[in-house]
Structure 1
Amino acid sequence: MNDIVEQFEITFNQIHQHLKELNAFPKNDNFVELLQRSKLKHSVIRVHFDQLKQYAKLRNAIVHERISGDYYIATPHEDVVKALQRIKRTLDQPPEALEFATRSVLYFKEDTALSHVMEAFDQHGISQFPIYTKERAFSGLLTNDGIVRWLSQNHKNGRIALEDVCASDVLPVEKDRSVEFLKASATVFDLEERFERSLNENRKLKAVILTESGSPDDLPVGIVTTWDLIKVDRRESDED
């Protein structure tokens, strides 16, 4: 077999295997079908979708339209093989979720005064903070929307007393603040899978908190929101 064709086919088949894994080995393992499914869930595939779809056409021409022996109706250019190999290497070693997370994570304890948390919102321009118990167990995600909701429910004659109000007093008004946890070493595929699953379950995932062990009982080393996922697409596009 022509060396350049062999390199192309081997790399293409390895990418096909990755697509099967990303889709839990469905019965229909047609390359383009898997590509379409993966595009909806994973940034790496989304960025390279059109490119891989064209490579699939080339692969079909090589496999099904061979004229004779090592004479093919189409032969990939060396640059095409190199581009395919770059995509394959990205799938072999996808970026870590931590690369796209906000670090370092600001967090507070349940007994932190609400006035102090509000100052942090204003000072750092962050819209949400994880809250922990004294034993360092995750208690909930406190958001600026939640604080506004609590203030609207607790004013008297236009005045609000904050002297004795703590973060834990506000957490009960937080609505649908779904949070999940991942190991800091998890890949961007693991991260995107969490958000995709929550979407399929009609459950709004507000954030994924990254800890060393993936346990809620560990302090956060990074936090990823839906806004941070935009950075995934942008980086992949810049590297393409």
Structure 2
Amino acid sequence: MVNFRKFQHPNLNHYHLTKDYDINILIVEVITMYSNNIHTFIKLYNEIDEFLRSKYRIDTNEGFSNVIRIGKNDFKQDDDYYKMITFAKLRNLITHNNDMIVEIHPKVVNSMMRIHKNFMPSQSVFSKFNRKVTTFETNDNLTDILRVIKEMDYSQFPVYQEKQFVGLITENGITKWLAKNFEEQIFSTDYITAWDILEIEENKDNVVFIDRNLTVEDAKDIFSFHLRNGKPTLDALLITHSGKNTEELLGIITRWDVIESE
């Protein structure tokens, strides 16, 4: 039985609960409103905690507040250190008190995000997004492309002609080609090439090559810059050693990757 003595919220005045049914309704409503704040707070706090434990080889049984004290000199501002001491207590309250509902104020989450950004070492795009990139030649057929989409569940592919980059195939380009040719006689995808799809892509400037040493934040800024300044929407960033399109591909970052990393 959950014991609510006092809970204040603009939409939830004082509740005097006596039935489990009433408690369940309240819990569902509060969780819906605040689970995102709590999730973000815990995620960011845990990343700082794990970083400090790894750096100073701190035992997993060591308390959260002590971990922050050990890593005091790693915080750029004294105020951040003292806030983290308080946040350590708040994290304990959230994690270990199942008989309470804790509301995380947006200002606390914003403060946690700022501390996390200042504290954590910048991660390079190579370390986060390094992966084998599936590419196609201009004469590869649509059947093979669709097969890869089905097997790998992604749909953005760099296209090359004799090792020279010529464009990026997207799901939108494939869909547009199929829609345009829908009313024609039955066709075989074996005879449709990657070049045919590229020719119908609306956005020819939908990709940028970037240096492997750029940070994840840099990558986010590139996407945002194109969005804010009326430039063509970027579908992907392609990672190479120094950002040249003649170099070997080391990874790919899509808009969805950026959203998921936030």
TM-score bracket relative to the smaller structure: 0.5 to 0.7
Could you tell me whether the CA contact under 8 Å between 1:100 and 1:232 is conserved in 2? Answer: no
C-alpha distance in 2, partners of 1:11/1:120? 47
Q: Following TM superposition, by how much is the alpha carbon of 1:210 offset from its aligned partner in structure 2, in angstroms?
A: 0.6
Name the residue aligned to 1:108: 136
Name the residue aligned to 1:98: 126
Name the residue aligned to 1:28: none
Check if 1:160 corresponds to 2:160. Answer: no
Q: Following TM superposition, by how much is the alpha carbon of 1:185 offset from its aligned partner in structure 2, in angstroms?
A: 1.9
Name the residue aligned to 2:60: none
C-alpha distance in 1, partners of 2:109/2:134? 35
Q: Following TM superposition, by how much is the alpha carbon of 1:171 offset from its aligned partner in structure 2, in angstroms?
A: 0.2
C-alpha distance in 2, partners of 1:52/1:152? 44
Check if 1:140 corresponds to 2:201. Answer: no
Residue identity opposite 1:214 in structure 2: G
C-alpha distance in 1, partners of 2:218/2:212? 11
C-alpha distance in 1, partners of 2:177/2:133? 24
Q: Following TM superposition, by how much is the alpha carbon of 1:89 offset from its aligned partner in structure 2, in angstroms?
A: 4.3
Name the residue aligned to 1:73: none
CA RMSD of aligned residues (A): 2.9
Looking at secondary structure, tell me which structure has more strand per residue: 1
> How far does the alpha carbon of each residue in 1:188-222 deviate from its partner, in whole angstroms, 9 at most, with x for none?
12211201111112231111111112111123211
Name the residue aligned to 2:249: 220
Residue identity opposite 1:218 in structure 2: E
Name the residue aligned to 2:238: 209
Name the residue aligned to 1:230: 259
Structure 1, unaligned stretches of length 5 or more?
16-46, 54-83, 234-240
Q: Following TM superposition, by how much is the alpha carbon of 1:132 offset from its aligned partner in structure 2, in angstroms?
A: 1.1
Name the residue aligned to 1:126: 154
RCO greater where, 1 or 2, for CA within 8 Å and sep 6 or more? 1
C-alpha distance in 2, partners of 1:208/1:52? 25
Could you tell me whether the CA contact under 8 Å between 2:125 and 2:213 is conserved in 1? Answer: yes
Structure 1 length normalisation: TM-score? 0.58
Could you tell me whether the CA contact under 8 Å between 1:195 and 1:205 is conserved in 2? Answer: yes
Residue identity opposite 1:50 in structure 2: S
Structure 2, unaligned stretches of length 5 or more?
1-68, 81-107
C-alpha distance in 1, partners of 2:155/2:191? 23
- 3-state SS of 1:231 partner: helix
Relative to 1, partners in 2 of residues 1:48 and 1:105: Cα closer, same or farther, differing over 3 Å?
Answer: farther
Q: Following TM superposition, by how much is the alpha carbon of 1:87 offset from its aligned partner in structure 2, in angstroms?
A: 5.2
Structure 2 length normalisation: TM-score? 0.54
Check if 1:185 corresponds to 2:250. Answer: no
Percent identity over the alignment is 25
Could you tell me whether the CA contact under 8 Å between 1:100 and 1:224 is conserved in 2? Answer: no
